Structures are given as C-alpha cells and as structure tokens.
Amino acid sequence: MLTFIFVIRATTTPGAQSVSASSGVADFSPLPLSQSSCIKPGSGGSNLIAHFQLPEDYIASKFKDHQLVFLGEGVHGSKQNLLFLQKLIPRLYEAGVYNIGFEMICSDEQPEVDRLLAAKQYDNTKALTLLFHWDPAIGFAAQEYADVLRAAWTLNQNLLKAIRSFA
C-alpha cells in the first residue's frame, strides 16, 4: 500500500508546540484578476512563454534534479494553494514522488493518516479531526485541507483498482 502523506515536526504531545502558528482568519476567497500575476506582452516574459509548462509539471520536473522541493504559501488558508496541491498529488506520483510533507497534521498521528489513506471508504470526519488536532486554537480543520487528504486517498484508491484489475 502506498503511503503518500507524511508529516513533520508537529506533535499532539502535551506541552509541545506546532511547527507554525498564524494569527489570521483563513480566507478561501479567490484573488481578483487584477491581483494575479499574469505575463503581459512586452514584459520580458518571452522565455517563460517559449518554455511554458503547467505549474504541476514544472514542480514535478524539479524532482529530476532535487531530492527535496519545498512549496510555501504566503498565508494559510489560500484556496488556490490547496486546489493546486490537490492537482499536484497525482502528477507527483507520475513523476515518481511517493511522499509529501504536510504541515497541517501532527507527526505522532501518522498511523491515523496511513489508515485514513488506506481505507476503503474516505472518512471526512476523521480527516477534519486530524486537522483540528494540529492547532485547535486557530482551527485549520477546514474542508479545503481535508480535500488535500481526499486527493491522496483518491489516488491510492485508483492505484489499488489498477493493481487489482491488472493482476
């Protein structure tokens, strides 16, 4: 069974601190088009246009030369970042990347994450509970984060079906 998500340095151990904390409220609203970063004609982006790659393909290609690639976000709760991560998961697998670090779940709950991702039925309540444990004071147990786990679960389910049908 593929274990797709592992978590780093956060713990539910009493007295321990999470990797990071945020003081803002999560905003899942899309950016206005005027705030997006588009390449405009004559702006010097001709090399980018000539060598265009989908963002998921670009990230996956970085693993050809790097063992570890960090993706950051300007603020927790960005819907665009979480949707991108959901799209990225199957592309990473195709590129031979089988593990991803996910800050939003405590490392000592890895066995629970493994069970969630291997289950025959996705348990959204369990996913939200695991997310809540990471930082109950701020409450990152948002559906958009649980959907990242669902994307990994869906990939695992499709892999299992492919393996079963091939065998």
pLDDT bracket for residue 148 (50, 70, 90): very high
Residue 6 DSSP SS3 = strand
**pLDDT the model gives residue 162:** 74
pLDDT of 166 > 60? The answer is no
Sequence ranges of the domains in the chain: 5-9+54-166
CA–CA gap between residue 74 and residue 96 (Å, rounded)? 27
pTM of the model: 0.69
Across 103-121, average pLDDT: 91
At 56-90, the pLDDT tens digits run: 999 999 999 988 888 887 777 788 889 999 999 99
Give the up-direction half-sphere exposure of residue 42: CA atoms within 13 A in the CB hemisphere: 0
